[in-house]
Amino acid sequence: MAYKERTKPRMLCIYEALAKRMKLGTDDQYYLLHMDGGFGGECGLDVLTDTLDSRCLVLNDLQLRHNRISIQIDTLVICPDKLLVYETKNHKGDHLWGPLTLRKPSGATMENPSLQLNRTMARLGVLLADLKIEMPIEGYVVFINPEFNLLSARKITDYLLPGQILRHFQNFRVKGEIGPEQQRLADALIRMHNPRHFSEELPAIDYGKLRKELFCLDCGSAVRLDGIKSVYCPVCKKRRRTNKTIAHNIEEFRLLFPDAKVTTPRMAEWCGLDNKDRVYRVLRKNYKPVGKGHGRHYV
């Protein structure tokens, strides 16, 4: 089990919520697919790091800022004798290696991820020095997608290609035991973690143009009421408790409109429900009321 679990990125949650309620532009749709693929690849690596020796401390999705410089680490494994940094890529298809770029046969070009990995390791080294911790750092770019193929005559030592990943973790060996220094480092990095350091510009959101319905917790499709206590999704065929579905949709409103007041009438409208009492009961159970009468809202 990871010492720090991975959570879905806030920007991915925002774009997923928007995609249910409006038609995204081409660039935004591509961005959503890119984020979703990246998160899926990272979760695929988590399956392997979860099998590591319990003497390792696995910290997922670290977003740090030190000396005004950002440090973003997909996966950090703290061993008794070293640190391992894993940068996960979910690319697929043929890619031609170059010292600065990877290029597809179509001509599409991207930065060689080794450059990103080296920057991350260098910045982590500075942070370790300031924490007065001396540990060697190793790093790997993990190409998690089985359809990825690298066109290169040379062996790239910091690449783990799809056919090498399982063997890398099967041969993983730990020397010694986690000591106070490694524990201190893990706890310090978790305290420093703050996703807000990496806040990106949000797309323009017009409340009036968003669909006002209840959406499925599983597949994101619009659901319909199925009696009093449950809703039914005609797409994935699943039933969920109505109150849980309402609460989830309210959380999406708070995600998209963090500065807007959460009121019973507004949430009833947001969920496409005529029955305000049902929404009121969910709000009363899950949130704290502020104010009285028509000015009451929930936090």
- Residue 287 has a pLDDT of 95
Summary count for the chain: helices (H), strands (E)? 8, 14
- Residue 200 has a pLDDT of 65
Tokens of 224: 């319909």
- Residue 179 has a pLDDT of 94
Tokens of 252: 């999406």
Going by pLDDT thresholds of 50, 70 and 90, the confidence category of residue 295 is confident
Q: Could you give the count of Cα atoms lying within 13 Å of 109 in the half-sphere of its Cβ?
A: 5
Tokens of 160: 């783990």
Q: What is the mean pLDDT of residues 41-46?
A: 97
Q: What is the mean pLDDT of residues 89-101?
A: 95
Q: What is the mean pLDDT of residues 265-292?
A: 95
- How far is 36 from 123, CA to CA, in rounded Å? 26
Question: Which SS3 state, helix, strand or coil, does residue 109 take?
Answer: strand
What domains does the chain contain, in order, with CATH numbers?
Answer: 10-198 (3.40.1350), 212-298 (no CATH)
Going by pLDDT thresholds of 50, 70 and 90, the confidence category of residue 202 is confident
Q: What is the mean pLDDT of residues 96-105?
A: 94
- Residue 198 has a pLDDT of 59
Q: Are 21 and 257 in contact (CB under 8 A)?
A: no
- Residue 199 has a pLDDT of 60
DSSP string, 70-83: EEEEEEEEE-SS-E
Give bridge partners of residue 140 from the DSSP assignment.
86
Percent of the chain with pLDDT over 70: 98
Q: What is the mean pLDDT of residues 72-91?
A: 97
- How far is 191 from 214, CA to CA, in rounded Å? 36
- How far is 2 from 116, CA to CA, in rounded Å? 24
Give yes or no for residue 49 having a pLDDT over 80: yes
Give yes or no for residue 201 having a pLDDT over 80: no
- Residue 145 has a pLDDT of 97
Q: Which of 169, 168, 85, 83 is nearest to 133 (CA)?
A: 83
- The CA-to-CA distance between both ends of the chain, in Å, stands at 33
The model's pLDDT over 122-164, given as tens digits with 9 standing for 90+, comes to: 999 999 999 999 999 999 999 999 999 999 878 899 999 999 9
Q: What is the mean pLDDT of residues 24-41?
A: 94
pTM > 0.85: yes or no: yes
For 255-266, letters b (16+ CB in 10 Å) and e give ebeeeeebbbeb
- How far is 32 from 174, CA to CA, in rounded Å? 38
Give yes or no for residue 68 having a pLDDT over 70: yes
Q: What is the mean pLDDT of residues 177-201?
A: 87
Residues belonging to the chain? 299
What CA dihedral angle connects 250, 252, 253 and 259, to 10 degrees? 120
Q: Which of 219, 206, 246, 248 is nearest to 230 (CA)?
A: 246
Give yes or no for residue 262 having a pLDDT over 80: yes
- Residue 209 has a pLDDT of 93
Percent of the chain with pLDDT over 90: 89
Strands of 224-226's sheet, edge to edge? 224-226, 230-232, 239-241
